[in-house]
Amino acid sequence: MKRNRRAGVEDRWTKTVRDNKGNKQKVPSSRHGRGLRWLARYVDHEGHEHSKAFERKADAQVWLDTVVAAQVTGSYVDPQLGKITFDSFYREWSDRQVWVSGTRHAMDLASGSVTFGHLPLAELRTPTWRHG
């Protein structure tokens, strides 16, 4: 089952319970005072949940806002997939392509000449300079 996309920050040191009159109140959780207090979570495009803990709520919210903005603008990179280097991605991807031999040779030459082959995909950035 695929999870719905969502995001939020939760306080792991408290929980909300209802008293005997049905009123909600916050009480200490079993984790109260232990570990990092704030947990930021989001579900990505594929339905996978990701989370990160923080000492301060503000830090958790900034991290989460950055991730959500990246999802909205299309610049989001899954943390695990972003660790794959360009060279390893190209090798796996090119093996699945149906190319004539000349195209394969040209693509292998082009990918072999890049200076960023050893970098994880998440670290690749578009250049800030422009040809004019």
**66 and 47 within one domain:** yes
**88 and 49 within one domain:** no
**69 and 88 within one domain:** no
Indicate the number of domains in the chain. Answer: 2
* Sign of the four-CA dihedral 63, 66, 71, 72: positive
End-of-domain residue from the set 51, 73, 95: 73
**69 and 13 within one domain:** yes
Range of 16's domain? 7-73
Q: For residues 41 and 49, is the Cβ–Cβ distance under 8 A? A: yes
> What's the pTM value of the predicted model, to 2 decimals?
0.61
Per-residue pLDDT tens digits for 63-116 = 999 998 988 888 777 777 778 898 998 999 999 999 998 999 999 999 999 999
**112 and 61 within one domain:** no
Q: In this predicted model, which residue has the larger pLDDT, 110 or 128?
A: 110
Which position has the token pair 């699945």? 96
**56 and 14 within one domain:** yes
- If one counts every other C-beta atom within 10 angstroms of the C-beta of residue 38, the result is 21
